[in-house]
Amino acid sequence: MSMRKTWLAIPVALLWGMVCFAQPSSTEHARSLAPFVPSPQPIVERMLAAADLKPGETLFDLGCGDGRVLITAARKFGAKAVGVELSPKLVEAANEQIKSMRLEDQVKVIQGDLMEADLSSADVVTIYLLTHSNDKIRPNLEKYLKRGARVVSHDFQVRGWKPIRVDKLEVYHRTHSIYVYEMPVER
């Protein structure tokens, strides 16, 4: 190989490596109900306040990403928090944060498919998925959640359910919607 080709091969190989690292595996891809887009911190706090999350209650964040909802639920609201996340890299990132804040007794992250989660212990469930993903998880929420449990969805409604509260909030030049539902849900 000429000197010029060798010099070209190095950045191409590095770029390819970065692309591969950022890609979800094919199993993750098949099960994915939404890409990772973190909720801005003011939205996280409003979601939990709108759900009236109380100290000692249990919150589930379905698709917990980097764990910000779980950490806020534990630190600011005194709740126990469980996250379910498909991506092993995001689970690792969330666990690092949880450990560095010494929240291991209060916060747990399960690496897996949120469609398989047992939600019967949840008082509050938070979601930031997509409308068609909400259609898919709705039967599980109806099956598992106890009377009085709240579901809070960032930006995407749960079709067929009537919210008890809708908040609109402008953060970083975009209006976000927060939908709150209470079980059993009025239709």
The yes or no reply on residue 33 touching ligand SAM (CB under 6 A) is yes
State the Cα–Cα distance between residues 113 and 24, nearest whole angstrom: 14
Nearer to ligand SAM, 63 or 163 (CB): 63
**Residue 142: CA atoms inside 13 Å, Cβ hemisphere, count?**
13
Shorter beta-carbon distance to ligand SAM: residue 1 or 19: 19
How far apart are the C-alpha atoms of 52 and 40, rounded to whole Å?
Answer: 19
Rounded to the nearest whole angstrom, what is the least distance from the CB of residue 13 to ligand SAM in the complex?
Answer: 27
Whether the Cβ atoms of residue 178 and residue 152 lie closer than 8 Å to each other? yes
d(CA 107, CA 123): 15
Of 9-17, 78-86, 97-105, 165-173: span binding ligand SAM (CB under 6 A): 78-86
Rule CB under 6 A: choose which of 82, 109, 114, 125 binds ligand SAM: 114
Q: How far is the CB of 115 from ligand SAM (least distance, A)?
A: 6
Q: Can you say how many angstroms the Cα of residue 108 is from the centroid of all Cα atoms in its chain? A: 13
Q: Which residues bind ligand SAM (CB under 6 A)?
A: 31-34, 36-39, 61, 63-65, 68-69, 84-87, 90, 113-115, 128, 154
